Amino acid sequence: MQQEPGSGMREQALWMADRCLGRRIARLHRLVSRRFDAELRESGLTLPQFEVLSELALFDAPARPSEIAGWLGLERSTISRNLDVLTHRGYVRVAATSSTGRTTRVVVTEAGYHALAEAGPAWQRAQAWISGAVDADAVDALDRWLTALDLDQQRG
Amino acid sequence: MQQEPGSGMREQALWMADRCLGRRIARLHRLVSRRFDAELRESGLTLPQFEVLSELALFDAPARPSEIAGWLGLERSTISRNLDVLTHRGYVRVAATSSTGRTTRVVVTEAGYHALAEAGPAWQRAQAWISGAVDADAVDALDRWLTALDLDQQRG
DNA sequence: CCTCCTGTGGTGTATCTGCAACACTTGCGA
DNA sequence: TCGCAAGTGTTGCAGATACACCACAGGAGG
């Protein structure tokens, strides 16, 4: 610190780099995302599309696009485009529109449920690979993390 | 299952959607990534750039691009482009090239360490937000997950 | 009834990533 | 020494995402 300003900087940089959570979570996401995409490719679904379809199926009622965006942590615009794709394929159906033609509520069609079911084996392979790598505690930790961050984000 | 083929499909789809790990990890990544990018923006670094710089700093020796790609779970091509950007900004320096001009080894420059240190406060805000959401066990679980998947991927 | 204002859906643009393909290098065995 | 195979850095291309922005809807208040 006295004669070597670079030395202190370097120390701090290493400390940050070593414990950076963003780095680790991003790496986990890339590993998992690639695996899911590779497995799901044969079914024609990407992971984000699978996510949208899943959330919509879980909600089990006509949902507004902005709701879906909030659940998934995705941008509203991204949801809008993904819904376009899914609607075009017949997996999702517009349940209500405003007077100007904007879609206000969407639901999963029978074909959508069928696509999800058809992706089952591929999904299971990816899921088994990931869940088999660790114990159940890790999954619980992941869920706690998500709910905590969600609550925190809603407040601020 | 007898007269309602859609019923069984729907059940399976909900089961998958509910426990899908890809969905949850992707959501966590989006939340975390957005936060880091937002905080780091003022320092001019994106999360991936920060990751590359960090790994390189941790390695503390001239590293080959493909090594970095392996550590981060990123594509070689993505590393190549990010290194271009970082080199152009002076944060990274090419330490060795082949006869055809390909970069074979890179190191962090003094300016790179300086950039990392300068991003410290912003990084700490994002890091505190995320790590403050859960207990230390979750971080351990995350690390276990990464090492397990990494080992599994190296084998096959 | 009108105006403001918040929230929402959609579009344009820039950027980034991965995949596929290419050129080159490195190391091994004939 | 000469191929041949595996690995590496780079680039073209297609796809997806986020941010900024715009147009519209639904209330609150005058």
pLDDT per residue as tens digits for the range B32-47: 999 999 999 888 899 9
Cβ pair A29:B25 closer than 8 A: yes
CB distance A72–B27 less than 8 Å? yes
| Averaged pLDDT for residues B72-99 | 94
Q: Does domain A32-155 have CATH number 3.40.50.2000?
A: no
Closest nucleotide over all strands to A26 (CA to C1'): C17
- Report which of B99, B22, B111 is spatially closest to residue A32, judged by C-alpha positions: B22
Residue A104, CB, less than 7 Å from strand C? yes
Which pLDDT value is given to residue A154?
61
Going by C-beta distance under 8 Å and a sequence separation of 6 or more, which residues neighbour residue A54? Answer: A116, B13, B16, B17, B20, B23
What integer pLDDT is reported at residue A16 of this predicted model?
A: 87
Instruction: Look at residue A155 in the predicted model and tell me its pLDDT.
Output: 59
> Which pLDDT belongs to residue B102?
86
CA proximity to A49, closest of A131, A108, A135:
A108
- Mean pLDDT (whole number) for B128-141: 85
pLDDT tens by residue, B92-129: 999 998 888 788 899 999 999 999 999 999 999 999 98
What pLDDT is recorded for position A140?
86
**Residue pair B59/A19 in contact by the 8 Å Cβ criterion:** no
Tell me which long-range contacts B140-143 makes (C-beta under 8 A, separation of at least 24): B141/A134, B141/A137, B141/A138, B141/A141, B141/A142, B142/A21, B142/A24, B142/A25, B142/A28, B142/A138, B142/A141, B143/A24
The pLDDT value recorded for residue A132 is 86
Nearest chain B residue (CA) to A128: B21
Residue A110: half-sphere exposure toward Cβ, Cα within 13 Å: 5
Least Cα distance to A33 among B16, B66, B149 occurs for B149
Q: Chunk chain A into consecutive blocks of 10 residues (it has 156) and report each block's average pLDDT, rounded to whole numbers.
A: 58 86 92 90 89 92 94 95 95 90 90 91 91 84 84 65
Cβ–Cβ under 8 Å, residues B20 and A127: yes
Whether any strand D atom is under 7 angstroms from the Cβ of B83: the reply reads: yes
What pLDDT was estimated at residue B2?
A: 42
At position B62, the amino acid (one-letter code) is P
